[in-house]
Amino acid sequence: MKLVQTAIPDDEYRLLRERASKEGKSMKEVAREALRAHLLPDRVNPDDPIFHSFPLIKGRGRHTSASVEHDRILYSRP
């Protein structure tokens, strides 16, 4: 693990301290979470093939056994 130090304005420090107190976390935890949220945004890549592979099954209608038999459907040997 590496140590990163920086100076922040008083207002940002106050906001960080208040957020940590409100969430019952250390300032270090809140700062790490904010850094992760900025560097690793939770976004979907619209070009991901998973979004262009549908429909995954043929036919229409309700497939009532899928939730019950999903392990057999997914992992059974032919």
CA–CA–CA angle 71, 74, 77 (5° rounding) = 100
* Residues 23 and 30 sit within 8 Å (Cβ to Cβ): yes
pTM above threshold 0.85: no
| pLDDT tens-digit series, residues 4-34 | 999 999 999 999 999 999 999 999 999 999 9
Beta carbons within 8 Å of 19's beta carbon, 6+ residues apart: 30
| pLDDT tens-digit series, residues 33-77 | 999 989 987 888 888 877 777 666 666 666 666 667 777 777 776
Give me the sign of the Cα torsion angle 51, 40, 36, 11: negative
Size (the chain), residues? 78
Taking the C-alpha atoms of residue 10 and residue 78, their distance in angstroms, rounded to an integer, is 65
